[in-house]
Amino acid sequence: MDLAYGEEYERFREEVRAFLAEHGKDAPPQFSRGKSDAQSRAWQQLLIEHGYAARTIPKEYGGYGAEPDVLKAHIIAEEFAKARVRAGHIGDDRLVPTLLELGTEEQKHAYIPPTVRGEMRWCQGYSEPNSGSDLASLSTRAELDGDEFVINGQKIWTSGAQHADMMFCLVRTEPDAPKHQGISYLLFSMDTPGIEVRPLVTMTGEATFNEVFFTDVRVPASQIVGRRGEGWYVANATLKHERGGLGDPNQAETRFLHIVDMMRNETIDGRPLMEYPAYRDRLLKLQGQMLAMRFNGMRILSHAIKGEEPGLPRWIVKLNGCEMNHQMAGMAVDLMGELGVLYHGSPHIRDSGLWQQRYMLDLGLIIGGGTAQIQKNLIGERALGLPKEPKVPPQA
């Protein structure tokens, strides 16, 4: 197997490294919990200008306008991870590719430029109280009234809804159609009359999720993505990007390198933790998992270069990535010893409680975006061709 990139790509790698050496100091903190502040927006704009964010998004939609090149995209992600510099994060990495693929020209011009610049924040209206794992059974309804849809219902576990400017939302527009065929995908402002957001405080101590209620919310019919009743197809295009992002091997490598630093700097009886075999063994196990995910990413990259569907390698990304991130956060908490149990407000807390917060958030992400159990079923049934899980008959 030849893993060499070739002269052209190695020159590009040196360009990326030179940019990071010059501008890396201007980046927001690597773990700033996704805050869209002035520093983050300025950093995003700098990355777009140099082609390190929104790289293949056409210039007319606010991007850099480069031709797609999966190797260059991989090199950018790899070098930013090694330098521990935050890559571009502003701009919804689920909605934008969905609009590029399925949106109208009017929608692309209206929503993509402010989104990639970080001026328009989005939330995802998918899950409902009785429609989480079985998303296609959602019941939030949108009835056409003239040239507007009128929405009534509820969403839950809506990340960032209390801060979002816009929502992309699944609603049932054909109540009599089979459940996968009666759904539509709408875009609308969170300032639309009739929307109520109620934050949900999680075990992290923060309100990262929300309940969202809709009462006679009127949305122009032109703000549908795709055709009416085909929202399930559009939603799956979005979920494909969400699940890939949740298991990003480059982000996992950045976290791993942070843990290596901790083991070199934290001490017990004056000795660095790196000198203790029990900690080194645990670190090596995590490194093995991280490298396996990295090489699985390269396998997916090889399929992309050939224009092939990766199959099983793509299916395992979210499952393995989320579980590995939780294990790494758990190790970081353990490395801090008694300080690892501290949380917000303590004068002795390390890294502003980053790893404690990540440990609990990453546990939730094993559920979010499709639970680990659901992911295993998908891998078994769709990727490996195994028989479907037996259904328990309803009780009389």
**Active site positions, annotated:** 242
- Which residues have CB under 8 Å from 362's CB, separation 6+? 322, 325, 326, 329
List helix spans (H) across 34-104: 38-50, 70-83, 95-102
Residue 292 and residue 321 in contact, taking contact as beta carbons nearer than 8 Å = no
- Which residues have CB under 8 Å from 150's CB, separation 6+? 142, 143, 144, 216, 217, 218
Helix (H, G, I), strand (E, B) or coil at 121: coil
Please report the DSSP string for 268-317 in residue order: ETTEEGGG-HHHHHHHHHHHHHHHHHHHHHHHHHHHHHHT----HHHHHH
Alpha-carbon distance 107 to 90, whole Å?
A: 19
Alpha-carbon distance 331 to 319, whole Å?
A: 19
DSSP state of 383: I
**Cα–Cα separations (whole angstroms), residue 260 to 218, 283, 391:** 52, 8, 45
Which of 118, 111, 53 lies closest to 91 in space, CA to CA?
A: 118
Give the CA angle between residues 58, 59, 64 to the nearest 5°.
Answer: 85
| Residue 107: its H or E element | helix 105-116
